[in-house]
Chains A and B, each alone.
Chain A
Amino acid sequence: MTRLERNKLADKLFKVVAICATAVALVFLAALVIDLIYDGAGRIDWSFITSFPSRRPARAGIIAAIAGTFWLMGLTALFAFPIGVGAGIYLEEYAKKNTFTKIIEVNIANLAGVPSIIYGLLGLGIFVRTFRLDQSLLTGALTLTLLILPIIIITTREALRAVPSGLRQASYALGASQWQTTYSQVLPVAMPGILTGTILALSRAIGETAPLVAIGALTYIAFLPESVMDPFTALPIQIFNWVSRPQKGFAINAAAAIIVLLCITLVLNSIAIYLRHRFKKRMRW
């Protein structure tokens, strides 16, 4: 075999290996989705969406869980976005780059990797016990906020760092202050990136079960929450509850609820992709 032939063979081989690697991931994902649809798609109808949970699988629904999930999502976004973006702006634009900020930086990156159950226990200790917020929506949202804050801070910093320095200089050279520069020039350019990160973080948060279980979110809720102090359930909790029941009917309900949760996640991620696409088109220099 000549050198050229060997190179060509190696080239082909690598291509095959890469395709196989991709296929493994896709096959498992496809198997999961097909299995779910096979089990659960038939169960999804209007009454399933709009009914409260019940002891009888055929009459049970997910309205309380959906309401809880949307409440959590809204509240978490409300808390996490301003705090996370604020911290990101401070660390990237204002903080002096010294050992202290480097330590903070490393720790934030670490926090993003801490298992979510730990955040649940933190929420239990702080919000449930110390602040006596009980198993309320507020507790759930604040706990999820802690969970996704590191991710939002990191993506905010990355988005700010991606803004060309020429833009900042142009603004400063006109006599603008740091805040004017950040607010009117840098943030608008970084915003799609920040939003993308926030939405991806949120879509992770609404799939989280462990922290909600740790703070003791209820599974049987027969009313819709009306204030942030009301107890709640959420889709992952409802699913967790149903799959742990012995009856076959609940397993089907769980599959159906998973499909709904996947759809919500899919919509969120699509918005994130759309924003990223627009971001790329807008910044050309």
Chain B
Amino acid sequence: MVENKTVFNIEELKAWYGTKQVLKGISLKVQANKVTALIGPSGCGKSTFLRCLNRMNDFIRDFRHEGSILLNDQDLYSSDIDPMDIRRQVGMVFQRPNPFPKSIFDNIAYGLRIYGEKNKTVLAGIVEESLKKAALWKEVKDNLKQNALTLSGGQQQRLCIARAIAINPEVILFDEPCSSLDPIATTKIEELIEELKDDYSVVIVTHNMQQAARCSDYTGFFMLGDLIEFDDTKKIFTTPSNKLTEDYITGRFG
């Protein structure tokens, strides 16, 4: 595995919901400007892991963790770190498209406005740029005032990606972004993820192994709270070193 710049350095991450342990000591490095996919059967802890990376687990009562997560050498969970600051550096796209019930423009401008950007020209510029990067501009450029909920599911998800891009994060996390979309919309999102890695580092959780194989550079296989194997995607899908990984990717369980 060729090392280049590391954005996330996670060491011995353990996590609990109440008394139930969901992560049993995960160590893994996320490379800059690469797509890292996390696969594994339901309930294996991959989403919990993802949500540790932008501290979205803070909202879950009884959540507890041990171990360290370094984002560019700053400890994500150290007491002088503001989680709101982390979430601006680490954006997130959710399983179900969740646009705000506002106009397309306002959806994207929201992240900028909450940090005090009021200049209309600046806002309009970033909205256009974000929509272009999310491959949605051509479809919506004449209807920016339209309510975002009138868009199709696939368009809504691309809007959510544009919304995440607009605040210019360093990393974008995808939590099963295509699980509620049809195959055509899914293809569009996958192509988009490929392009996004030029500017951002991407971590994607997916149920869909083909998706991981198609659009990621590195793949981690999770099972029952353990990281079973982590390597180049090509290696994972052709010559996995662990029997469990092989059984999973060949569809023997999962």
Contacts and interface: CB of A to CB of B under 8 A. Distances in A.
Interface string B95-131: 0101111000000001100110000000000000000
A285 B101 CA distance: 9
Nearest to B160: A170
Q: Is the interface on chain B under 10, 10 to 19, 20 to 34, or 35 or more residues? A: 20 to 34
B111 A285 contact: no
Interface string A158-183: 00000010111111111111001000
B101 A282 contact: yes
B218 to A, nearest CB: 23
A97 to B, nearest CB: 7
Given A169-B56, A284-B149, A174 B101 contact: no
Given A172-B56, A173-B54, A174-B87, 20 more contacts: A169-B59, A170-B94, A170-B100, A170-B160, A171-B110, A172-B87, A173-B56, A174-B88, A174-B110, A174-B164, A175-B115, A176-B110, A176-B111, A177-B84, A184-B114, A189-B101, A283-B101, A284-B149, A285-B96, A285-B149
B167 A175 contact: yes
Contacts of A167: 98, 100-101
A241 interface: no
A282 B150 CA distance: 11
B183 to A, nearest CB: 21
B111 A174 contact: yes
Nearest to A175: B88
A175 B111 CA distance: 7
B111 A184 contact: no
13 contacts: A166-B98, A168-B59, A170-B94, A170-B98, A171-B100, A173-B94, A174-B87, A174-B110, A174-B167, A175-B84, A176-B110, A176-B111, A283-B101
B163 interface: yes
A283 B163 CA distance: 20
Interface in A164-220: 164, 166-177, 180, 184-185, 188-189
B155 to A, nearest CB: 13
A176 B100 CA distance: 13
A175 B88 CA distance: 5
Contacts, number: 66
Interface string B142-156: 000000010000000
A18 to B, nearest CB: 37
B61 interface: yes
A175 B98 CA distance: 16
Contacts of B149: 284-285
Name the residue in A167, A170, A184, A285 with the highest tally of chain B Cβ atoms < 10 Å from its Cβ: A170
Contacts of B84: 175-177
A93 to B, nearest CB: 11
B3 interface: no
Contacts of A166: 94, 96, 98
Contacts of A188: 101
Nearest to B87: A175
B92 interface: yes
B100 A173 contact: no
Contacts of B98: 164, 166-167, 169-170, 285
A176 B114 contact: yes
Contacts of A285: 96, 98, 149
A169 B115 contact: no
Interface in B70-93: 84-85, 87-88, 91-92
Given A184-B110, A284-B149, A285-B149, A173 B101 contact: no
A164 B94 CA distance: 13
Nearest to B97: A285
Contacts of B167: 174-175
A192 to B, nearest CB: 12
B76 to A, nearest CB: 14
Nearest to B54: A173
Contacts of A97: 61
Contact of B100 (A177, A185, A284): A185
A172 B90 CA distance: 11
Interface string A60-81: 0000000000000000000000
Contacts of A171: 100, 110
B91 A174 contact: yes
Given A177-B84, A185-B100, A172 B59 contact: yes
A194 to B, nearest CB: 16
B53 to A, nearest CB: 11
A124 B170 CA distance: 62
